[in-house]
Every structure is written in structure tokens, then in C-alpha cells.
């Protein structure tokens, strides 16, 4: 999947790994909210579009169960992170698998 996405557009991969910088407004009270679409700059619009494109590429590769798992995610990075944990496990799970393999491997 990584190679497929990079081959389509390397900027998509950057959005998935680094996350998009979705346009925000910080109020005088310090509350951070999403900026209205009508006030996006061209650069902000491109970033939002790249995120949508990256989400589309990932979602097209999912079955209905996986889609239901990631549908609440707002960004491609959130989708990727959720799928990564689901299929690879957390770092603790990875370490436990390695330790189990090392102990069970005959010398």
C-alpha cells in the first residue's frame, strides 16, 4: 500500500505520515476551531484536497468491516494509524511477539 500511494503522488504519502495541517482559527479565548471553507486560501484548499485524496485512496482499498472501523476518522493520518495498530499492533504487542519468537526459536 505504501508503494502504491507513493507512486500515485508522493505528497499523499507525506499527508498520511505527517498529517495534514487543516486550516484552523484561534479565537480570542484561545479556542481552536476549523476555519470555514469559504475563507480558505489557495494553499489551505490544496492541503485539504490532498487529505481528501489520501483518504479516498485508502478507503477504496478497504472492505466494509475495515471501513466501519475507520469511518469516524477525519484525516488520512488517523485512518492509517488506526489500520496500523489494528494489523501490526502497538509497540507493546510487537515487542511481545518478538520475545515469544526469540524464546521459541530453537538454537
Q: Tell the residue number behind the cell numbers 484536497, with chain if given.
A: 49
Domain assignments of the chain as residue spans, ordered by start = 1-104
Q: Tens digits of per-residue pLDDT, 52-68?
A: 999 999 999 999 999 99
What per-residue confidence (pLDDT) applies to 1?
A: 85
Least confident of 2-11, 53-62, 91-100: 91-100
- Residue 9 CB neighbours (<10 A): 14
| Closest of 63, 50, 41 to residue 14, by C-alpha | 50
Amino acid at each position: 500500500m505504501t508503494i502504491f500511494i507513493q507512486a500515485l503522488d508522493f505528497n499523499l504519502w507525506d499527508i498520511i505520515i505527517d498529517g495534514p495541517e487543516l486550516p484552523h482559527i484561534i479565537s480570542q479565548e484561545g479556542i481552536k476551531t476549523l476555519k470555514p471553507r469559504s475563507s480558505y486560501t489557495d494553499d489551505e484548499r490544496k492541503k485539504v484536497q490532498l487529505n481528501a485524496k489520501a483518504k479516498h485512496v485508502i478507503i477504496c482499498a478497504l472492505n466494509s468491516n475495515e471501513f466501519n472501523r475507520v469511518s469516524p476518522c477525519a484525516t488520512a493520518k488517523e485512518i492509517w494509524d488506526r489500520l496500523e495498530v489494528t494489523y501490526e499492533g502497538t509497540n507493546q504487542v510487537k515487542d511481545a511477539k518478538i520475545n515469544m519468537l526469540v524464546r521459541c526459536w530453537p538454537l
